[in-house]
Chain A
Amino acid sequence: MTKKLALKQFEWFWEALLNSYAQVFFSDNKLFGVALLIVSFIDLYVGLSGLLAVSTALIIAKILGYYEGNIRQGFYGFNALLVGVGLGIYFEPGLLLFFLVFLSGVLAVLISLTLEGVLGKYGLPFLSLPFLLIFWMLRLASKQFESLGLSERGVYVLNELYTLGGGNLIQFYEWINQLAIPSSLRSYFFSLGAIFFQQTLVAGLVAAIGLLIYSRIAFTLSILGFYIAYLFYMILGVPFSELTFSYIGFNFILTAIALGGFFIIPSRSSYLQLLLIIPLVVLVSVSLQQVFGYFYLPVHSFPFNIVTLIVLYALKFRMDNRIGLSTIFWQQNSPEKNLYSFSNFMKRFGKNSPIPIYLPFFGEWTVTQGHNGEFTHKDNWKHAWDFEIKNEDGITFKNEGDFLPDYYCFYKNVLAPANGVVEQVVNDLEDNVIGTRNLDHNWGNTVVIKHGDFLYSKLSHLKKGSIPVMAGDVVEKGQVIGKCGNSGNSPYPHLHFQIQSTPYIGSSTIDYPISDVWIRYHGKESLQATSNPTKGALVSQLVPKSEMKKAFAFVVGGTIKFRTEEGEEEIWEVKRDYFLNKYLECQRTKSKAYFKVDDLMLHFTHFEGKRTSLIYLFYLSAFKVSFGYTHGLKLQDSFPINQIFHPKRIFIQDFIAPFYQYLRADYTLNYPKASRGFSDKPFTLNGMITKSAFKKTLESSKFEFVIDQVGLKSFYFERGNQKTKALCVRD
Chain B
Amino acid sequence: MSKLTFERPIIQRINAGLPSKYGMPRRLDPISHIDGTSIKSLLDEFGSPLFVISEQTIRKTYKEAHRAFSSRYPNVQFSWSYKTNYLNAVCNVFHQEGAWAEVVSGFEYQKAIENGVPGELIIFNGPDKSTDDLRLAIENNSLIHIDHFDELYELIHLSKEMGERPKVAIRVNMDTGFYPLWDRFGFNFENGEAWDALNRVMASKTLDLLGLHTHIGTYILSTDGYRIAAEKLASLAVKLEKKYGHVLKYIDLGGGFASKNTLRGAYYPGTDTAPSFDDFAEAITSALMSSEIKPDHLPMLILETGRAMIDEAGFLAGSVLATKRLADGRRATIIDVGVNILFTSFWYDHDIRPVEAVSDQSEDTTIYGPLCMNIDVIRGNIMFPLLKKGDHFVIRRVGAYNMTQWMQFITLRPNVIMLDSKGKPHLIRKKESLETINSLENTPEHLKNFEL
Contacts and interface: CB of A to CB of B under 8 A. Distances in A.
A676 interface: yes
A389 B143 contact: no
A678 B71 contact: no
Contacts of A65: none
Task: Give the most central of B71, B73, B250: most A CB within 10 Å.
Answer: B71
A679 B141 contact: yes
Interface in A388-447: 389, 391-392, 405, 408-409, 411-413
Given A478-B295, A677-B100, A364 B167 contact: no
B67 interface: yes
A289 interface: no
Nearest to A415: B74
A361 B71 contact: yes
Contact of B67 (A361, A363, A679, A680): A363
A392 B97 CA distance: 13
A678 B250 CA distance: 9
Nearest to B289: A480
Interface in B47-91: 59-60, 63-64, 67, 70-75
A405 B68 CA distance: 12
Nearest to A468: B290
Contact of A363 (B72, B121, B249, B250): B72
Interface string B280-309: 001001000100000100000000000000
A362 interface: yes
B120 interface: yes
B70 A678 contact: no
A543 B74 contact: yes
Interface in A667-681: 674-681
Contacts of A502: none
A677 B143 contact: yes
Given A363-B72, A392-B60, A677 B118 contact: yes
Contacts of A479: 295
B295 A674 contact: no
Interface string A677-708: 11111000000000000000000000000000
B118 A363 contact: no
B70 A675 contact: no
Contacts of A405: 278
Contacts of A362: 70-74
B321 to A, nearest CB: 38
A678 B289 contact: no
B63 A408 contact: no
A59 B113 CA distance: 76
A476 interface: yes
Contacts of A680: 208
A168 B186 CA distance: 102
B63 A391 contact: yes
A364 B71 contact: yes
B72 A413 contact: yes
A682 to B, nearest CB: 13
A678 B249 contact: yes
Interface string B250-284: 10000000000000000000000000001000100
Interface string B324-357: 0000000000000000000000000000000000
A-B pairs with lowest CB-CB distance, top 10? A363-B71, A677-B120, A363-B70, A679-B120, A677-B121, A412-B71, A678-B249, A543-B75, A362-B74, A392-B63
Given A365-B71, A543-B75, A677-B100, 17 more contacts: A362-B72, A363-B71, A363-B72, A391-B63, A392-B59, A392-B63, A408-B67, A409-B71, A480-B289, A674-B118, A675-B100, A676-B120, A677-B120, A678-B120, A678-B210, A678-B250, A679-B141
9 contacts: A389-B71, A392-B59, A408-B67, A411-B282, A478-B295, A674-B118, A677-B118, A677-B121, A678-B210
